[in-house]
Amino acid sequence: MHLVLAWAILFAQEAEGFLKSAEVKQQQRDIEGALADYSKAIDMNPKLAPAWYGRGVILSNKGQLERALADYTKAIEADPKFAKAYFSRAILRSYRGDEEGALADYTKAVESDPSYGKAWFNRGLLRSGRKDYDGAIADFTRAIGVSGADIDAWFNRGNAWAAKGDHEKAIFDYTKVVELKPTHSAAYVYRGDSQAKKGDAISAMLDFTRAIEMNPKDAEAYYFRGHSNYDRQAWSAALEDFKKAYDLNALNPVRTDTCQLRLWAVRSRMGQSDVATAELKTYVAKERRGGRPNDWFSTVSTFLTGDQPEGPFLESAPSKPQTCDAHFYAAVKRLAKKDVAGAQALLKKALETGVTDTPEASSVRAELEALKK
């Protein structure tokens, strides 16, 4: 019995030795040597959780995700409180599209180590992506509590507040971001968007311009400033902003499409309806990437280019936001033809949808104010 115990102690000591050797080799970037030593440690002591975890990290970095997932699971079985193993397995599960599994693992990680800021942050991102904004805000708040200078946590909490429509709190968080990092152009862009949605057009313009000064290639800054210039009817400035936003080729597909619709709207308001229509047709036929032939953008563009009558177009909107969009663009088309009364009636219909948190809704309010004057 004493001999068996002695051998067990010896094996455990040798396993620890291989574990330490593997960790040193990993730091020295001797990846194959580290991988071999982690495996030797596991062979000698299958309950050595850090060895399973270390090998899992290497396998994950080598793209061997199934084997890495299995190693992280073995690490957790050996040590059910191993927060890093839960965190790493959550990342792999999220990558594989297993959101529920990832959420469960991030939860286990923060339960095992409440000071694990990255786990709180990543769970917040996952919840935000699932539109659980309250849950995301709670998680980002915990991440901030662990590290008050966590810029990404402040920024993403601001995004979550903005998604909920609480722009005061969003502005507070974006302001904290620029205090911590004055060159964070995206924080200026999104703070400007929240300022605009609160009705503070001047502060919004200042923020968008500041973002552009810091990063002249920030397509979103030009995109959002284009909307602000549109709402104050600075047509030439809006045209330049939307053109620049499109030319930088860095917007997501939805904003790229919207950019083209706004270019049509701006040119039409400038008395260039023929040019606007020709450009939009070219975009649809030759330049558009992604989307489907019968999606909402295609419906709007077909109306703007004259291939669909107003009545059927207005009736085709499937939701309140799109009903607001449809009446807005129909009003712009009427304004381009100097039909002010018809445009005003359409804008009022758009306002009646109750939609407030879209660029089109903001422009509806701006157009009605301009018509009053």
Token duo for residue 256: 């790229």
The predicted pLDDT at position 33 comes to 93
Q: Is residue 335 a part of any domain in this protein?
A: yes
Q: Is residue 26 a part of any domain in this protein?
A: yes
Q: Is residue 207 a part of any domain in this protein?
A: no
Q: How far apart are CA 77 and CA 277, in angstroms?
A: 63
Q: Is residue 234 a part of any domain in this protein?
A: no
Residue 90: Cβ-neighbour burial (10 angstroms; 0-12, 13-18, 19+): buried
Q: Which of 84, 113, 142 is the last residue of a domain?
A: 113
Phi-psi region of 249 (alpha: psi -120 to 50; beta: other; left: phi over 0): left
Stretch 193-211: mean pLDDT: 93
Token duo for residue 59: 């396998």
Flag whether pLDDT at 36 surpasses 90. Answer: yes
pLDDT tens-digit readout, 53-106: 999 999 999 999 999 999 999 999 999 999 999 999 999 999 999 999 999 999
For tokens 């973002």, the residue is: 211
Q: Is residue 131 a part of any domain in this protein?
A: no
Q: How far apart are CA 43 and CA 116, in angstroms?
A: 30
What CA–CA distances, in Å, run from 248 to 191, 221, 223? 21, 11, 10
Flag whether pLDDT at 291 surpasses 80. Answer: no
Q: Which residues of 55-82 are buried (b: 16+ CB within 10 A; e: fewer)?
A: bbbbbbeeeeeeebbbbbebbbebbeeb
The predicted pLDDT at position 4 comes to 45
Q: Which of 85, 113, 141 is the last residue of a domain?
A: 113
For tokens 């270390």, the residue is: 54
What CA–CA distances, in Å, run from 37 to 61, 70, 76, 356? 17, 18, 20, 60
Stretch 23-45: mean pLDDT: 90
Q: Is residue 5 a part of any domain in this protein?
A: yes
* CATH code for the domain of 56: 1.25.40.10
pTM of whole model > 0.75? yes
Token duo for residue 242: 């939307």
The predicted pLDDT at position 6 comes to 44
Contact call for residues 212 and 221 (beta carbons, < 8 A): yes
Q: Phi first, then psi: give them for residue 252, nearest 5 degrees.
A: -70, 165
* Count of CB atoms situated within 10 Å of the CB of 252: 11
Flag whether pLDDT at 319 surpasses 50. Answer: yes
Domain count across the chain:
2
Q: Is residue 333 a part of any domain in this protein?
A: yes
| Model confidence band, residue 19 (pLDDT cutoffs 50, 70, 90) | confident
Flag whether pLDDT at 225 surpasses 50. Answer: yes
The average confidence (pLDDT) of the chain is: 93
Q: Which of 113, 142, 175 is the last residue of a domain?
A: 113
Q: How far apart are CA 286 and CA 159, in angstroms?
A: 34
| Model confidence band, residue 10 (pLDDT cutoffs 50, 70, 90) | low
Containing structural domain, residue 81: 1-113
Stretch 209-234: mean pLDDT: 96
Q: Is residue 140 a part of any domain in this protein?
A: no
